Every structure is written in C-alpha cells, then in structure tokens.
Structure 1
Amino acid sequence: MRRTDRLFEIIQIIRDGRLHKATDIAEVLEVSVRTIYRDIETLIGSGIPIEGERGVGYILRAPIFLPPVSLTEVELEALHLGAALVQRSADPELQRAARRLVEKVDQVMPEARKPPAEGWGMAIFGVDSLQASFAHMPVVRAAIREKQVLEIDYARADGQTSRRFIRPLQMEYWGQVWTCTAWCETRDDFRVFRIDRMRGVLDAGRSFIDEPGKRLRDYVLREGFEEDQEKGEV
C-alpha cells in the first residue's frame, strides 16, 4: 500500500471519534507500529486534529471533510456495477478492495446521489466457475506489479503438466476464466496461461526488467496476433 493511501486509511479508521491504539491500526493496515507512529506524526504535522500519544492511542477530535466527489448517476451505476463484478469474479483481496471503494464513495456522496434502497437495478450471476482461479490471483497480480519471475506447474487442456518459469505481464478476464499473458522463459516466447489450470505458483526469487521483444506491447503489436493467440496455452 502506498503511503498516501495508508494516510487516507488511517483517517478513515479514526474519524469515528473513538480512541484507536496504534497496534490496532497497524494490524488492520498490515504494517509495523513504528510506521503508524510516523504516519500519525505526518498527519498531525499537516494540520489534521489528531490527539493522543504513543502507547495510549489516538482520537480525531474534529470532523474531517474530504473534498466533494462529483459523479453523475450513470457514473455511480458504472462504479457499482464494476465493483459488483470484481466482488464476484476476483480474488478475496480485490473483493474487499471493491467493497471499501464503494463504501468510501457512498460516504461522501450527497443524499441525492446515495445508493437507492433497492439497489441500482443490476445483479451479477453465473461466475461461480471462477473460484478455481482465486487461489493464485494475488500472487500473479503481485508478480505483475513488482516484475517478479514466477515458477508455475501448469496443466494443459490435454492433461499434460509442465513446469515453467514465466514473466507475467497482464491478466485478462474472459467472462468465465482468467488468463495471464506472459513471456515464458522455458519456451522463450509469449504464452497465455489459464490461471485455473495453474497447479502451483511460486515466486522464483528473482525479478525481471522490460526487454525489447519480451514486453506486453511487443506481444500486442507483434505481427500475426491472432496466430499468437492460437499458440497460447489456453
């Protein structure tokens, strides 16, 4: 979590007017207590009316008003629909993030833009088959973000299993399955892997850099893209 996001989360936690211990905040945000102490000092230094001390706890004595969010009704519908899709089609970490996102937006919306009591008139069904992908999605997402090589045991459609070392570049959602486009070091070429067919996913313990010919944009722009799709591991 970026520090700016963490500072925002701390304000969200303590804005209820109750006393919060640094240890409790640290546990929620999954950081050290020392980090929370530094963040609290930063918030106080920027003028946020936080009172308290180390070992006792912190409390926000005055209300904090966040900048207004100007969204149209259709934009709010799109946001809630997107969040609902994430909550049904992504791993638990992203599901929680989607819930927090809509909660934060709804909190700062004027009454005229609050969610209708009966909902937004949309529902999501038919994505239960994605559950098999959820176990490995957090590791794959982190590897894409941090440019980490992954070691995977992969089962093809014919049942054959192989071990690969891949540079994950992007995840794709196809409605019923999640895939990962990657540079496969084992095959020395681009490949597309279904995440639900990954039998094991491990951090290989080394990072990679973007090399010409091995980047996502190289895959997208490469001559004969449709043919490349056919050569994938899907």
Structure 2
Amino acid sequence: MNKTDRQLAIMLELQRSKVLRAEDLASLFETSVRTVYRDIQALSEMGIPIIGAPGQGYSLMEGYFLPPIGFSAEEAVALLMGTDFIEQRLDGDYKQMARTARRKIEAILPEPVRVESTRVRETMRLLHSSEPITDLREKDYVGQIRHAILERRKLSFTYRKKMPEGDGNRSSKREVAPYGLVFAQGNWIVMARCDLRGDIRHFRLSRMTELALLDERFVLPAGFNLNQYRPPDDRNERVLIRAHPEWMDRIIETANFYIESAEERVEGMIVQFRVRSPEELLYLILGWGGEVEVLEPESLRRRVREEAEKMWKRY
C-alpha cells in the first residue's frame, strides 16, 4: 500500500472506529508506529481535524465526515458480486436489499468505472455445479431462523439425520435456541443449543422440515461469539483405504474434510480418514469405484461388500 492509499485508509478507519491508537493503525496496515505518526502529521497539515488524546489514541473531530469515496473498477466488481451472492443465497428480504444496494452502487459509479466494472463482471460468474443450490424453501428457512436469532426466540423442527440413531430412526423432533447461521461448503447450517441433547449442535437446513418459531425466549451465553466459536472435533473413528494415485484428486474433492493423512507407497496411496462413524464414508467409497479398497475397519469393508452385492443383484 502506497503512502496516499494508507493515509486515506487511516481516515476511513478513524471515521469507522472513532478512536484508535497509533499501535493499532500500525498493526492494521503492517507498518511502523513512526510511519503512522508521520501520516497523522501529514493529514493534519492537509486540514483533516484529527485529535490526539494521550493514552487513548487518535480520533476525528466530532461532526466531521469524509466526502463520498469513489470506487475503482475492481472494488466495484467485488461489491457487485457480493450482492449477486446474497441474492442467490439469502432469504427474500435480503434478496430485495441486495438488488437495491446493487442499483445504488451502479448509480454512483462514474461512467468509465461503471463500464469497466461491467466488462470485468461479464468475465466472471458464480456457479454452483459442485454445490447444492439454495432452494426457495431453504431460503425461507434462512429468513425465519435469522429473525429467531435476532429476537432470541426458540425454534422447533423435525430433523432427518444422515445416519440412523441407535433405535434405527433417522428423524426426530427438536427444540433449539439458535445462536447463529453459517454457510459452509454450499450448505446453510444453524448452530443452536439443542434441548434434546443439552449442548450446541449443528443442523443443516436442507434436512429440516416443519420449522416453526416458538414464543419461548432464550438468553445467549455470556461472551458467545459466532466468529470465534470452534466446535469440538468428535471425529474419533479411523478409516484406512488404498487408492490408485490418479484417483486422489477426486477423493480430495469429495472428502477433503475427513482426510487426516495420505502417503504414497508401492501398492498405491494409503489414505487415512477421521470420522464420527465409518458409514459416513460408505457412499463416497462406493462412488469412487473399483480403484479404491477399504483396509480398515472390517465393519466398513463388510458394508461396502454388502452394498456391492445388492448392486450386482439389481443390475
């Protein structure tokens, strides 16, 4: 970042954050505190009303606002593609907000920048060939859950798990306190405290039905921050497979989350996975075909064999 861009960025940060220390600015822009002092001095000499309070930091004079900031073509593309993503993935309220924001951004762009940003956007497109599309029902659920989170209201729904429970059932009724929404690997997930399990659980919206907002309220745990929360890793089962080296790209693309290690040997690639249950990998392994062999555990080898025999009889 050159000096002019950094000084403009400092003004924007002061307007946004109100009070910042020189050390904070130096860390943010990856420069020295001495350089920040020189930038503050230069801005003051240009007439920017920056106030320095010993022991507190720098701030802009109360009531001072920067004039509207222009965008480069690349910055405009980033913002406009962001509105495209929101329109495709969020609920109806945000879909309309994204369209309104896009019109406002395009309206304030100078003609040369607007033309250039349009040309750049025409060379890029958001596709979902390898990710599930957020359908209308799921978008509606995003909207309902978003309101429940903001209003601190509990939710109820029927949830269909990927694997059957101990009693053989895959579906169960849940009441939860929703803490946040996460979009990961093409799927919307609500992080919530489940009354049934007595702990924080993750629920895919695509596996939910009969969603309803309850009148019962909840209190968010003190200090809970969705951006800082890291769920415990409970993948304690190990699966070992042997695969043809040329098949590794496909394995990585479809099961990267589970892979713990991969080692090339004379007999092929030995790949180790960590899972909650070996059957989580069953249908992935079947999809990889005859170029892959399960080495451990024996229970998974048996399940693959059983499914292959069913397929043989059917075809």
Give the TM-score range, shorter chain: 0.5 to 0.7
Counterpart Cα distance in 2 of 1:111 and 1:144: 41
- Shift in alpha-carbon separation, 1:91–1:128, aligned structure 2, 3 A: farther
The alignment covers a number of residue pairs equal to 163
Corresponding residue to 1:130 among 126, 130, 134: 134
Whichever residue aligns with residue 209 of structure 2, its letter is R
1:163 corresponds to: 173
Larger deviation: 81-90 or 199-208? 81-90
Unaligned runs of at least 5 residues, structure 2: 1-66, 165-169, 236-256, 258-274, 281-315
- Shift in alpha-carbon separation, 1:87–1:221, aligned structure 2, 3 A: closer
Whichever residue aligns with residue 226 of structure 1, its letter is D
- Shift in alpha-carbon separation, 1:219–1:155, aligned structure 2, 3 A: farther
1:144 corresponds to: 149
| Larger of the two Rg values belongs to structure | 2
Aligned partners of 1:212 and 1:218 also within 8 Å: no
TM-score, length of structure 1 as denominator length: 0.60
RMSD of the alignment, in Å? 2.9
1:123 to partner: Cα distance: 0.7
Matched-pair identity in % = 21
1:220 corresponds to: 229
Residues 144-223 of structure 1: pairs in structure 2 closer than 5 A: 144-158=149-163, 160-212=170-222, 215-216=224-225, 220=229
1:25 corresponds to: none
Unaligned runs of at least 5 residues, structure 1: 1-66
Residues 46-125 of structure 1: pairs in structure 2 closer than 5 A: 68-116=68-116, 117-118=118-119, 120=121, 121-125=123-127
Residues 22-33 of structure 1: pairs in structure 2 closer than 5 A: none
Whichever residue aligns with residue 193 of structure 1, its letter is F
Q: Give secondary structure in 2 for the equivalent of 1:190.
A: strand
- Shift in alpha-carbon separation, 1:171–1:221, aligned structure 2, 3 A: closer
Q: Give secondary structure in 1 for the equivalent of 2:157.
A: strand
| More contact order relative to length (CA 8 Å, sep ≥ 6) | 1
Counterpart Cα distance in 2 of 1:106 and 1:218: 31
1:175 to partner: Cα distance: 3.5
